[in-house]
Amino acid sequence: MTEATYDLDQTHDPELRSWVEAANDKNGDFPIQNLPVAVFRRAGSDEQFRAGIAIGDSLIDLSASCLSPHLNEPGLAAINLVSSSSLNEFMAAGRRAQRALRRNLSRILQHDFPQRKRVAGALIGLREVEFKMPARIGDFSDFYCSIHHATNVGKLFRPENPILPNYRWLPVGYQGRTSSILLSEQPVVRPRGQILTPGSADPIYSDCRRLDYEAELGVFVGAGNTLGTPIPIDRVEDHLFGVCLLNDWSARDIQSWEYQPLGPFLAKSFATSISPWVVSFDALDPYRRPHRRPDGDPASLPHLTSSNDATRGAIDIKVSIHLLSAAMRARGLPPARLSLSNYADAYWTIAQVVAHQTSNGCNLQPGDLLGTGTISGPAPESRGCLLELSEGGSSPVSLPSGETRIFLEDGDTVIMSAWCEAEGRGRIGFGECRTTVSKAV
């Protein structure tokens, strides 16, 4: 497979405008240059779920029959793959199908498209819809790509030696669970588990007292690889479908008791939340950056090294966390920002992650989900979880309501958002992943 060319094309032109007026808002998430995909139906209906592409304050229903007369042959082939209620088949078809659909929709949605009145019937307002998981997720792996996060967390446990020797050689990860992946708006229930309370030698079974979020991005795999056949680093992008928001809920007290020697287990498996919209790697192309290791770090091994990845492996995606407590909600206060970080600060690129994960011959499949790990930066305000922000619980975070937080309380809503912006390139966004904590049952 050699279809990926990585070139910017007419769909990236920052001057493009849409006949969907809201898509021309310079601060919106869904301009015509973005075109993320989700699976939806009209809220409260018993309609079939189907795929839609966001444009401004609406989406375009890809199952609408008024679209097909205006698509070219590759566009028709691609849209036929997305008519089912999950995107796995479309994901399996690879970057070529994805790009064909993007080019067709970009043309149809442009302000001067002559038959715009004929396709306007496919538009549905975003306020009128509900979402479903974009894919049947077969496997979920979560990584640890931010050295700033790894250092901040490592310092809490090992002040002398925060970064373990393997960190600079391989992207550390673990296999997560798919059964408890939730969509934005689904509440997360505070877990119960074994906790070692301070000063006690024996654990108790109790409600989690140190519930945390982790600001991450999720990457959906597109075309898979055959078992036994690693994906070379320079071919990884042929196998990627897109990026969503991912909140990796973490029970820090359960985690600190259970994690040695095999890593996280019940501290993570109770919930992981994702956003409904998946932004394609094509849409992210204008926001690529060179990826560099800090001076003095060892060069990565050859199978994790590529000049192409060094040139463009980082992606400038700003990731924001806001918190809205029950008291703030009651007083009509707006959500308060807790952190703003950037995926471009990651130590490991997505190409390195996938090259590593398949380097033993492990097969990835369409719809598999990979988490980047908590995205933190060098600055204190770029710490992507409360464990870091509160320095292990010793430094409470203040909220505008006068409340403080070390970890999350019942009724807290955690709101993740992310966007890309670049000089002369405009802005694209990821929508939201919004989750409220409910009490343990």
Residues annotated as catalytic are: 149
Element (H, E) at 161: none
Residue type, 409: E
Residue type, 285: D
Are the C-beta atoms of residues 274 and 36 closer than 8 Å to each other?
no
DSSP class of 202: S
Work out whether 212 is an interface residue with Mn ion (CB under 5 A).
Answer: no
Residue 214 or residue 253: which is nearer to Mn ion going by CB?
214
Reduced to 3 states, what is the DSSP secondary structure of residue 91?
A: helix
Strands 123-125 and 318-324: what pairing?
Answer: unpaired
How remote is the C-alpha of 18 from its chain's centroid?
26
To Mn ion, the closest distance from the beta carbon of 210 in angstroms equals 15
Residue 123 or residue 346: which is nearer to Mn ion going by CB?
346
How many angstroms separate the first and last alpha carbons of the chain? Answer: 49
To Mn ion, the closest distance from the beta carbon of 214 in angstroms equals 4
To Mn ion, the closest distance from the beta carbon of 194 in angstroms equals 20
Residue 67 or residue 387: which is nearer to Mn ion going by CB?
387
Residue 155: exposure state from Cβ atoms within 10 A (0-12, 13-18, ≥19): middle
Q: Hey, which residues between 141 and 160 contact Mn ion (CB under 5 A)?
A: 142
Residue 145 or residue 344: which is nearer to Mn ion going by CB?
145
Residue 306 or residue 390: which is nearer to Mn ion going by CB?
390
Residue 394, beta-bridge partner list = none
Q: Of 185, 211, 221, 184, nearest to 270 (Cα)?
A: 211
Residue 36 or residue 218: which is nearer to Mn ion going by CB?
218
Which residue has the CB atom at the shortest distance from Mn ion? 248
Q: CA 403, CA 45: separation in Å to the nearest integer?
A: 40
Member of 61, 212, 238, 248 binding Mn ion (CB under 5 A): 248
Determine the interface stretch with Mn ion among 1-9, 120-128, 140-148, 327-335 (rule: CB under 5 A): 140-148
Q: Of 41, 46, 73, nearest to 59 (Cα)?
A: 41
Determine the interface stretch with Mn ion among 67-75, 175-183, 242-250, 272-280 (rule: CB under 5 A): 242-250
Q: Provide the angle, in degrees to the nearest 10, between the axes of the packed helices 95-109 and 73-81.
A: 110
To Mn ion, the closest distance from the beta carbon of 140 in angstroms equals 11
Residue 108 or residue 433: which is nearer to Mn ion going by CB?
433
To Mn ion, the closest distance from the beta carbon of 432 in angstroms equals 19
To Mn ion, the closest distance from the beta carbon of 373 in angstroms equals 5
Joined tokens for residue 30: 């869904």
What is the DSSP annotation of 19-82? Answer: SSGGGG-TT-S--TTT--EEEEEETT--PPPEEEEEETTEEEETT-TTSGGG--HHHHHHHHHT
Q: CA 375, CA 385: separation in Å to the nearest integer?
A: 9
To Mn ion, the closest distance from the beta carbon of 246 in angstroms equals 8
Member of 29, 61, 214, 309 binding Mn ion (CB under 5 A): 214
Element (H, E) at 426: strand 426-438
Q: What is the largest CA-CA distance in the chain?
A: 74
Determine the interface stretch with Mn ion among 209-217, 290-298, 389-397, 423-431 (rule: CB under 5 A): 209-217
Joined tokens for residue 142: 């979560």
Joined tokens for residue 224: 């898979």
Residue with tokens 């538009």: 123
Residue 183 or residue 267: which is nearer to Mn ion going by CB?
267
Reduced to 3 states, what is the DSSP secondary structure of residue 355?
A: helix
To Mn ion, the closest distance from the beta carbon of 395 in angstroms equals 21
Number of chain residues interacting with Mn ion (CB under 5 A): 3
Under the rule (CB under 5 A), what is the footprint of Mn ion? 142, 214, 248
